[in-house]
Amino acid sequence: MAAFFLDTSTVLKRYVQETGTAWLQALAAPTVRHSLFVVRITLAETVAAITRRERGGSITPQDAATAVADFQLDFARQYRIVEVSAQGLRITIQRFTLELRTLLSFSLDFLASSVGLVCDPRVNRCSESGVAGKPCLLDKSKLFDHIFATFR
């Protein structure tokens, strides 16, 4: 018995035939007794995805109705629902951002030392060895601000 977090595209594989369906159906079989976690919005997203498949013609209306009914029953009985609050999401993003900043900082330092980047004070840019002869101090804060702008 194990625990799995399933995103909507993974859940969909259980109800609509596609690559990975057999594997997921085996994983989700009630006799296996795995804990299957989903976020609450998976309910709406999965029904919408099944409906899109029906409108697109890749599944019949009858198969879509069966898939929705089966999913709704499993959602009520088998899936464990994870509630996500705005505050919880903000805390998670902040922790992730801090960890990623630390990882990027070490990676950039290693990259700069490995390829011999140096700084040209006349143009305030880094280039390969030979321009100014002194180690490049990458302005990581500007790089991080650019990378993490989407998290704000």
**Structure confidence by residue, pLDDT tens digits, 86-125:** 776 676 667 666 666 666 666 655 555 555 544 444 444 4
Longest dimension (CA), the chain: 71
Hey, where are the domains in the chain?
A: 3-82, 101-151
Strands (E), 6-135: 35-39, 80-82, 118-120, 125-127
pLDDT at 30: 87
Place of tokens 């596609």: 18
Query: In sequence order, what are the residues at sequence separation of 6 or more whose Cβ sits closer than 8 angstroms to the Cβ of residue 79?
Result: 6, 11, 36, 37, 38, 42
pTM for this prediction: 0.57
How would you write the pLDDT of the chain (152 residues) with one tens digit per residue? 888 889 999 999 999 999 989 999 999 998 999 999 998 899 999 999 999 999 999 999 999 999 999 999 999 999 999 887 777 667 666 766 666 666 666 665 555 555 554 444 444 444 444 444 444 444 555 555 555 555 55
Task: Give, in words, the CATH class of 3-82.
Answer: alpha beta
State how far Cα 103 lies from the chain centre.
18
Alpha carbons 111 and 22: distance in angstroms, whole number:
43
Query: In sequence order, what are the residues at sequence separation of 6 or more whose Cβ sits closer than 8 angstroms to the Cβ of residue 130?
Result: 118
pLDDT at 84: 78
Alpha carbons 116 and 99: distance in angstroms, whole number:
26
